[in-house]
Structure 1
Amino acid sequence: MTPGVLGLAALAGVASAQVWRSDRGDGTYANPPLNADYPDPDIIRVGRDFYFASTTFANAPGLTLLHSRDLVNWDIVSHLIPRLDGSATFDLQDGGSYRHGIYAPSLRYRDGTFYVAVTPVGQNTRIYRARDPKGPWTHVALDRQAFDPALFFDDDGAVYLATSIGSDGTITLHTLDHDVTRITASRVIYYNKGAEGSKLLKRNGYYYLFNALPGKLALSVSRARALDGPWETRAQIDDTTGGHQGALVDLPDGGWYGFVMRDSGAIGRVTNISPVFWRDDWPVWGTPDAPGRVPDRARKPIQGQRFAEPPSSDDFAAPTLGRQWQWNHNPLDRLWSLTERPGFLRLHAAPGAHFWWARNTLVQKGQAPRARGEALVDTRGLRPGDVCGLGTLGKYSAQLSVVGRADGTRALTMRVTEDRTDGPHVEVRVPAQRVASPRLWLRTDMDFPAKVARLSYSEDGRRFTALGGTVPLMFDWRTGTFQGVQFALSCYNPAGTGGWLDVDRFTLSTPPQ
């Protein structure tokens, strides 16, 4: 397809994938561009191309990078980190790494090279780099931790890294060498109570420092003629008017847009984009007719670009996993395959006492407002003790699972795992009940406005039986995953060894209301 303005009829002809369409096909868009959990955004422009780096926590591969030509239609370019390293928790040891891992990346570009600064929880800050955004990416580790780092290249060639943490608000500026490999000096440049998530940019002789204020769910901007100040600060927007962590990106025509994340319930933290105009060298979110808020709907920043979106449905015919998939932690690669049975994803039973601690759970993001994930599976490879199926991963993880029995039969069960401060609690909603057919359709419906999920199954793909009642959909940064609820394909055995589950296909669609 050649680039061009997509009308509504053209949009309707695109094969269904995401359940949310930001591009309305009439030259406008609706927020958010991606109605899913893409938090802690950093967006840059390189020529006509926009790139968007986002948090992924313990998911592997880690640190998602997306691409767009208009800030509305995005697709996944790559994940920078094939396997997370530096901590046994990434391998689900020593308590695992849910709520930790990789977050708040800072994305920049200089002289043909992309750079990403990121601080894995409990480790020193890393600087990743690549000539091609598809990779391969290499990295160096600095000699300290910089919380929510903000990488910045100044006009004179100097390289800086700003950092602050919301429990304090002291903003430290590290100077780096030209090769971006080590810190050469550090100094405090400002104090903004509660500030974190810093972003630095420069315009018309002013430095602009954007900071999230998590305690207020608000965004502030500070400006100064020099990095050492004096700084003056103004409130920008908050979660009631659009979001609380982000900054600005310039357009090829000289205009500006803002990007900002907003806490959005069980779907997680979504990223909005907004027109921005300038008044007395201060950025103002929105338009002159409606200043101070992110619009629900607006004219697209750049017209005429073709429709794009991340993949979601998958028939597993490709030799590699689709870009939409990640594992709950680093996988055991010997226990999954796309080649043992071509056209199927084979999940061998991974070790795990129960679902929350099981290896090799394959996930992709839930999507608002409502999404249906359906997996067609072949259970003939199951062995006694195997627990394999489809469901949700989040604060409450509901799994519709087929269980292998000692007599060679298979049974269906529904279990809910709630992560609590005293550890995961498992509730069996439906005791194991025998199923005759080895070929099953497993379905998970997520209704984010209602904050519930429903699980059902079928032996013929037409008549579905609901099991276990509704399950809560919830976002909780203290327990759970610190992410929006995800679809999850899993296969594990508490004994550590077992058989396998073959997944023929996974389909994402919008359920009827």
Structure 2
Amino acid sequence: MHRRDALKATALGAMGLAAPIGPAAAAGAGETSLLPPAPATPRKWARGLDNQRKADLGDGTFLNPVLSGDRPDPAILKDGKDYYLTFSSFDSYPGLTIWHSRDLVNWHPRKPALHRNIGSVWAVSLEKHAGRYFLYIPVKAEPNDIYVIWSDHIDGPWSDPVALGLHDHIDPCHAVGEDGSRWLFLSGGDRVRLSDDGLSLAGEVEHVYDPWRYPDDWDVEGFSPEGPKIHRHGDWFYMLTAVGGTAGPPTGHMVIAARAPSIHGPWEHHPDNPLVRTESLDEAWWSRGHASLVEGPDARWYTLYHGYEAGFWTLGRQCLLDHVAWGEDGWFRMTGGDLAAPLAKPEGGEALPHGMALSDHFTAPLALGSRWSFFRPSPDEARRCKSGDGVLHLAAKGAAPSSGSPLLLIAGDTSYRFECDIEIDPGCTAGLVLFYDDKLYAGLGFDADRFVTHQYGIERARPANPHGRRMKMRVTNRAHIVAIHTSGDGGKSWQRFDRGMEVSGYHHNVRGGFLMLRPGLYAAGRGEARFRDFQFTALED
């Protein structure tokens, strides 16, 4: 059995599923048969910075994901020859980093748009109207709300967030009617009118659309109509909606569509709903949804949406690109199947440098919001860190990673290794972590006398530390199997730490929160920790 197939079988076993969903599994009386499992397709990505996988294969094709790691709820904006993209950033700050592309395949990070912690950021709307950029930001907080920020340049500065007072909805989508009126379409088939400047409400929430419903015997998480995206094309307004639940069963999340001759309706269902849905656990991507349409540099049409990589919920929902074909009936359809095989790259666009290095030698100010971000930071969190001259000084906070706002990365490979030289003050504890949230993480820390083992979000064994207050530490995560090594002589020799870990269950379907398992570093207790020469290397299965 191929390594990836074995890992998938392990994941299915953990779900209580002994075989792929397919005709044999769905043959019960009254059940709807699903398509057969997709044929196995070898997948081999190109490799970029730090050996990270990248989509562009260099031969006129690309292989999904176009942006790996946790890139959920993609919000895409076409602005002339430029494309801008951002994602739900949840509890990571600075957040809402804007990514830039000219060919829809190669993406480069620019700057974060949101610096003040206003809560857990969900699916946003990125728009340009009358020469000004807008972000409409739904936030899970106390209370929930939808905020708006604006800027006259995509790199900012962005305005301070303004709450709109929408406490019962998520997933806004800005739309402009044929009469020039501005609207936010919302979860549940609702909408609300905006003021002409887009910065306040100009009416009450109204229900305008009853989404298409799937058969009752499909395995889904819940109806959950969300993520509406409005596009005007020709004589029609098109609405894409996600239903079936974002996580849960891999066959649940799906893309449906409707259209109307006016922004005011009436809306008719697409005859081929659902347009996207995982139908077999043997498919490369699970729980696919939250789709947007965009015109490519070649005047053809494409769609961006998210999905979980089969067997790797720990990586979060990754950003996927598919081709769109318009039919003579005026409807669009996605054509890339389960996205397991390479697809033709859009023509005519400039290929920008893709991605960014995750290794950091700390010779410049910390790249907060692009490379690094804090988990649930306080308003002055950035004051904890100073980077330059080859050293990151990180002031201690809290008693453990759970209370210390660790510094984290988004790593998009199924296997990787990261290591760092760490020096601590007396009274400080520091180390490397694989961090889902403050209740679920793994890794290793140390103080002057002892190690501290982090497992399942608990501080467990504390064996003696033979290296003192400075050591090199390495964490290897090879398809969820974690090994930790330490070195007291600057990396000339390494000792394997006597506690292995397995982290395939560190994900949303276990813990909730819609996050991913992220590598990073922390400092707790008193004083500070000094980090040098952080090295990240993606590993191939």
**TM-score, length basis structure 1:** 0.83
Aligned equivalents of 1:477, 1:104: Cα separation in 2:
19
Pairing 1:472–2:503 present:
yes
Residues 1:39 and 1:391: Cα distance change in structure 2 (over 3 Å): same
One-letter amino acid of the counterpart of residue 265, structure 2: D
Match of 1:125 in 2: 146
- Tell which deviates more after alignment, 57-66 or 32-41: 57-66
Match of 1:98 in 2: none
Is the partner of 1:190 in helix, strand or coil?
A: coil
Pairing 1:229–2:256 present:
no
Aligned equivalents of 1:131, 1:329: Cα separation in 2:
28
Equivalent of residue 443 in structure 2, options 371, 382, 399: 399
1:83-482 superposed matches below 5 A: 83-85=116-118, 101-121=120-140, 122-138=143-159, 139-145=161-167, 146-164=169-187, 169=188, 171-185=189-203, 186-192=205-211, 193=213, 194=223, 195-215=225-245, 216-226=252-262, 227-233=264-270, 234-240=273-279, 243-264=288-309, 265-279=313-327, 280-286=329-335, 292-294=337-339, 296-303=341-348, 304-322=350-368, 323-331=370-378, 332-333=380-381, 336-338=384-386, 342-352=389-399, 354-356=400-402, 358-379=403-424, 381=425, 383-384=426-427, 386-394=428-436, 396-404=440-448, 410-418=449-457, 426-428=458-460, 430-436=461-467, 438-448=469-479, 451-459=480-488, 460-467=490-497, 468-473=499-504, 474-476=506-508, 479=511, 481-482=513-514
Aligned equivalents of 2:383, 2:110: Cα separation in 1:
26
Aligned equivalents of 1:477, 1:175: Cα separation in 2:
35
Residues 1:437 and 1:512: Cα distance change in structure 2 (over 3 Å): farther
Match of 1:506 in 2: 534
Match of 1:3 in 2: none
**TM-score, length basis structure 2:** 0.79
Aligned equivalents of 1:391, 1:377: Cα separation in 2:
13
Match of 1:68 in 2: 101
Aligned equivalents of 1:124, 1:333: Cα separation in 2:
23
Residues 1:310 and 1:302: Cα distance change in structure 2 (over 3 Å): farther
Following TM superposition, by how much is the alpha carbon of 1:118 offset from its aligned partner in structure 2, in angstroms? 1.2
Residues 1:335 and 1:349: Cα distance change in structure 2 (over 3 Å): farther
Aligned equivalents of 1:155, 1:464: Cα separation in 2:
66
Aligned equivalents of 2:536, 2:467: Cα separation in 1:
26
Instruction: Tell me, yes or no, if the aligned pair for 2:446 and 2:465 is still in contact at 8 Å.
Output: no
* Deviation per residue, 1:79-111 (Å, 9 max, x gap): 1111213xxxx6xxxxxxxxxx11101111122
Instruction: Tell me, yes or no, if the aligned pair for 1:217 and 1:244 is still in contact at 8 Å.
Output: yes
Aligned equivalents of 1:334, 1:42: Cα separation in 2:
27
Following TM superposition, by how much is the alpha carbon of 1:319 offset from its aligned partner in structure 2, in angstroms? 2.5
- Tell which deviates more after alignment, 191-200 or 432-441: 432-441
Structure 1 unpaired stretches of 5+? 1-10, 91-100, 405-409, 419-425
Match of 2:9 in 1: none
Structure 2 unpaired stretches of 5+? 1-45, 214-222, 246-251
Aligned equivalents of 2:198, 2:433: Cα separation in 1:
43
One-letter amino acid of the counterpart of residue 298, structure 2: D
Runs of 4+ deviating beyond 4 Å = none
Residues 1:18 and 1:135: Cα distance change in structure 2 (over 3 Å): farther
Following TM superposition, by how much is the alpha carbon of 1:455 offset from its aligned partner in structure 2, in angstroms? 2.1
Residues 1:512 and 1:461: Cα distance change in structure 2 (over 3 Å): farther
Is the partner of 1:24 in helix, strand or coil?
A: coil
Pairing 1:21–2:54 present:
yes
Is the partner of 2:450 in helix, strand or coil?
A: strand
Is the partner of 1:17 in helix, strand or coil?
A: helix
Aligned equivalents of 1:125, 1:333: Cα separation in 2:
24
Is the partner of 1:36 in helix, strand or coil?
A: coil
Aligned equivalents of 1:463, 1:271: Cα separation in 2:
39
Aligned positions, number: 453
Instruction: Tell me, yes or no, if the aligned pair for 2:88 and 2:123 is still in contact at 8 Å.
Output: yes
The two structures, once aligned, show a CA RMSD in angstroms of 2.3
Residues 1:334 and 1:30: Cα distance change in structure 2 (over 3 Å): closer
Aligned equivalents of 2:377, 2:393: Cα separation in 1:
17
Residues 1:105 and 1:134: Cα distance change in structure 2 (over 3 Å): same
